[in-house]
Amino acid sequence: MEPVTLEICWNRLVGVVNEQATALQRTSFTSIVREAGDLSAGVFDRRGYMVAQAVTGTPGHINSMALAMKHVLAACPLESLRPGDVLITNDPWKTSGHLNDVTICSPVFRGDDCVAFFASTCHTADIGGHIFSAEAREVYEEGLFIPIMKLYEAGRPNESLMAILRANVRLPEMVLGDFHAQIAGGAVGGERLLEFMAEFGLPHLEPLADEIIERTERAMRQAIRALRPGVYHNVLTSDGFDEPITIRVSCEVKGDEILIDYAGSSPASRRGINVVMNYTEAYTTYGVKVIVSPDVPNNEGAFRPVTIAAPEGSILNVRHPAPVAARHVIGHFLPHVIAGALGQALPDHVMAEGSANIWGIQVSGKDVDSKAFSHVFFASGGTGARPTRDGLSATAFPSGVLGTPVEVIETIAPLIVERKALRDGSGGAGMYRGGLGQTIAFRARTREPFVCSVLCDRTRHPAKGFLGGEAGAPGEVIIDGVRPVNPKAEQVVPTGAIVEVRLPGGGGYGPAVRRDPELVARDILEGYIPA
């Protein structure tokens, strides 16, 4: 295809998936999707290859959704699909790693010919079982497990499945409302895609997909070939649930490929911080890409030069029915452990360790009118400092999930946020300073105790600095002035008590003695460090 035409087609395709994502977010019933952007959206060809993704969304959703489509087509082959079909699943091992993430896939038909698929993955408000926490001992306790099946068949809803869903979640209107928002997004994407294909005379998507994917793969391989060959190792320690978790990686740069092996990492946990292989691959490929070739489009071609292995039964490749609800607590460390390894070959292309995982704060109980509520919101600590500038404060890396505004939290849940501010001094010192964490203090308007689950980490093992930079401050959870023995455990909070979360800061980059005096003066003036 002629380069100018290809560029136009590529931009149109990206525009189509962005419309899909916009329609989904605008019709979503939950702040998790609408405000925080905890979703993914993408277009796939008939082989299940991801061709383009929306600019919004998290790598854990997007890259695992790319893997999930192959499972979807294996369960529901092309010839079994009809116009009006909509597929659904939240199988953690085939999608993005826990039951709260629901993937919905809409085939796009031109007449009786299926020409593409639109898929999205969203964190649903509730999926039954335990509240969103790491407490369960098996995935069966964590909520409703939906195998790959049809939510709509030839345009007609699967009423039996709808009834099961309504009976097994705490917030059926909100949950089903978001499912239909995902369907609406797929419908908008499908309409725009058919318009685009008709305008450019494309009978099928595969020729354009092959051109985009092959160019992406060539660019990715070229970037890898420019790296210094060798085997690079790194080790990172997480707080874990009951005991520390070790993530150990070996990255081998070999020609135009990178071979990544997590042998030596901790075995699976008894609690729900385990990671399925799909999610491990999702955040590993993202970690490689942002270092090696960040400007290359994220599609099927970007994944092919990277081979990933993790021992079955380890924390990064758990077997069914291991509990997995809080898999992001460990999974979000993977780009950091990759950076520590590949940084040995490209020190000017990586950032120091950051707070890593978002902190998911779930509150459930009965409000002052005795009405049941369940609400989750996310918060982020600081990112690691970069080779040429300070880290970002209160910013989610690698997930990209946004914080929910206080006004929204207080409107849709019986919560009062007493304080929300950057956490002075929490960024690690260095030639460039780590990003600051934040402090959030809130209480619930209830007549009786409520349950609070804070999915956190770096309360014992702070973010390390890089090349002489200092570590960031560890995080803290404080309930009515008392630090719980295990901050990850579900806490029963007395009426009127204040829950305060202090998120960790990022590590510094380079020795602090080399920091520009003008930056030091600014730090003092802005209160980042004491005078």
Q: Are 473 and 462 in contact (CB under 8 A)?
A: yes
pLDDT at position 527:
67
Interstrand relation of 257-261 and 306-309 (parallel, antiparallel or unpaired): parallel
- Supply the range of the domain harboring residue 375: 351-531
Mean pLDDT of the chain: 95
Other Cβ atoms closer than 10 A to 180:
17
Among 291, 356, 348, which Cα is nearest to 330's? 356
Among 315, 221, 320, which Cα is nearest to 274's? 315
Among 487, 515, 466, 173, which Cα is nearest to 347's? 466
Q: Is the pLDDT of residue 393 over 90?
A: yes
Residue 180 domain flag: yes
Residue 206 domain flag: yes
Record the pTM.
0.95
Mean pLDDT across 114-129:
96
The SS3 of residue 210 is helix
Q: Is the pLDDT of residue 4 over 60?
A: yes
Residue 275 domain flag: no
| SS3 labels along 459-517 | CCCCCCCECCCCCCCCCEEEECCECCCCCCCCEEECCCCCEEEECCCCCCECCHHHCCH
Cβ neighbours for 523, distance < 8 A, ≥ 6 positions apart = 433, 529
Q: Of 303-312, 396-405, 435-444, where does mean pLDDT reach its minimum?
A: 396-405
Q: Is the pLDDT of residue 23 over 80?
A: yes
pLDDT at position 520:
86
pLDDT at position 530:
59
| Sign of the dihedral defined by the CA atoms of residues 296, 297, 298, 300, in that order | negative
pLDDT at position 347:
87
Q: Is the pLDDT of residue 531 over 70?
A: no
pLDDT tens for each residue of 34-61:
988 899 999 999 999 999 999 888 999 9
pLDDT tens for each residue of 464-520:
999 999 999 999 999 999 999 999 999 999 999 999 999 999 999 999 999 999 888
**Do 211 and 360 belong to one domain?**
no
In this prediction, residue 406 has a pLDDT band, given cuts at 50, 70 and 90, of: very high
Tokens 């300070």 belong to 390
pLDDT tens for each residue of 131-151:
888 999 999 999 999 999 999
pLDDT at position 525:
79
Q: Is the pLDDT of residue 72 over 80?
A: yes
In this prediction, residue 14 has a pLDDT band, given cuts at 50, 70 and 90, of: very high
End position of a domain, from candidates 216, 247, 262: 216
**How many structural domains comprise the chain?**
2
Mean pLDDT across 228-232:
96
Amino acid 341 reads A
pLDDT at position 56:
85
pLDDT tens for each residue of 428-450:
999 999 999 999 999 999 999 99
- Tell me the C-alpha distance between 10 and 282, whole Å: 23
Residue 279 domain flag: no
Q: Are 260 and 289 in contact (CB under 8 A)?
A: no
pLDDT at position 57:
84
Residue 269 domain flag: no
End position of a domain, from candidates 216, 251, 269: 216
End position of a domain, from candidates 178, 194, 216: 216
Q: At what angle do helices 3-27 and 172-199 cross, to 10 degrees?
A: 160
pLDDT tens for each residue of 328-368:
999 999 999 999 999 998 888 999 999 999 999 999 999 99
- Tell me the C-alpha distance between 117 and 231, whole Å: 39
Q: Is the pLDDT of residue 5 over 70?
A: yes
In this prediction, residue 158 has a pLDDT band, given cuts at 50, 70 and 90, of: very high
Cβ neighbours for 521, distance < 8 A, ≥ 6 positions apart = none
Residue 290 domain flag: no
Residue 44 domain flag: yes
Residue 517 domain flag: yes
Tokens 């400092």 belong to 385
DSSP 298-336: -SHHHHTTEEEE--TTBTTSPPTT---TTTHHHHTTHHH
**Do 361 and 509 belong to one domain?**
yes
Q: Is the pLDDT of residue 325 over 80?
A: yes
